[in-house]
Amino acid sequence: MKLYRKSFPNDEKQKKDIKESLDTRLFVKGKIPITGRSFTNYSIQLFPDVSSTKLISYMNDKDYLDLACGINHLYPQSLLSKIKGSKKRHGLDIHNKSEQFDEIHYYKSNSHKTGLPNDSYDCITINNYLYFWETNTDNLLKIYKELYRICKKDGEIRVFPVFFGNYYNDNIELFDYLNQNFSVRLLRPKKDYSNESAIYLDNDKIKKLDKSNGSVEHKENHTLMSNCLILKKL
């Protein structure tokens, strides 16, 4: 399926579609599921402006943090694992699965208060967390302030998915904060969304969710016109 949507649905329909999607999110034992994604998934959804064949070299000279990384720090197919070089390769999440893999450093911390030093990263990616699980506007604002602090000047923060491109959640304070502190870009994938299913840990073994998981997300991204938000710190 190619990107077929040519116009936005009206506000009411947008809200209804987003609510329906959020209502069907499946928690695991009351918690946000801890998943991981491949290089290809991140390339399609978080780097729509960088050719996938050039993504590794694009990232090689960047200090990189994958925030709400799930188990990407343990997954050899993830972007975090595929980049090599002497720059920082960090993952941060709130869970305890912290075994070391390769040269990647995992931080068990909270997106609201990471404890990481100021001006640390050239690139921060956030996939399937903000807007997807964390939808509260006050929390989004707090997290963006923390991300601003740890991002270097001219560094970029890439967030997917932003439904209907509404990165400010119809909130003027969030809109002003982001626009005063970053240059803001919104992009959809060049060809199509990923239909890849997430991976997860089962007794310390990496497994892939059923194909239907990828198909459901693919369909939702179309329905909700998911955008990648690219913030460049001014």
Ligand X SMILES: C[S@@+](CC[C@H](N)C(=O)[O-])C[C@H]1O[C@@H](n2cnc3c(N)ncnc32)[C@H](O)[C@@H]1O
Q: Min. distance of Cβ 37 from ligand X in angstroms?
A: 4
Q: Smallest gap, in angstroms, from Cβ of residue 95 to ligand X?
A: 5
Q: With respect to ligand X, which residue has the nearer C-beta, 88 or 95? A: 95
C-beta of 9: minimal distance to ligand X in Å?
25
Nearer to ligand X, 135 or 183 (CB): 135
- Which among 66, 61, 154 has a CA at the least distance from the CA of 107? 66
Residue closer to ligand X (CB basis): 72 or 221: 72
Q: Among the residues of 76-136, which ranges form H helices?
A: 79-82
**In angstroms, what is the minimal distance from the CB of 199 to ligand X?**
8
Amino acid at 15: K
Q: Kindly state the smallest distance separating residue 109's Cβ from ligand X, in Å.
A: 7
SS3 of the chain: helix, strand, coil, percent, to 5: 35, 25, 40
Residue with tokens 């491109």: 165
CB of 6 to ligand X, least distance (A): 28
Measure CA 184 to chain center. 16
Q: List beta partners, residue 185.
A: 230
DSSP conformation class of 8? P
**Contact residues for ligand X, defined by CB under 6 A:** 32-37, 68-70, 72, 93-95, 110-111, 127-129, 133, 198
Helices (H) and strands (E) in the chain, counts: 7, 9
Closer Cβ to ligand X, 36 or 155, answer by number? 36
CA-CA distances (angstroms) from residue 229 to 6, 23, 109, 112, 165? 19, 23, 23, 19, 8
Between 28 and 234, CB nearer to ligand X? 28
Residue 81 φ then ψ, to 5°:
-80, -30
Instruction: Choose between 13 and 112: whose C-beta lies nearer to ligand X.
Output: 112
- 71, 68, 70, 102: which is closest to 85 by C-alpha? 102
Q: Which residue is nearest to ligand X (CB)?
A: 70
Cα separation of 102 and 142, whole Å? 32
Query: Measured from the CB of residue 171, what is the shortest distance to ligand X in angstroms?
Result: 20
Nearer to ligand X, 167 or 200 (CB): 200
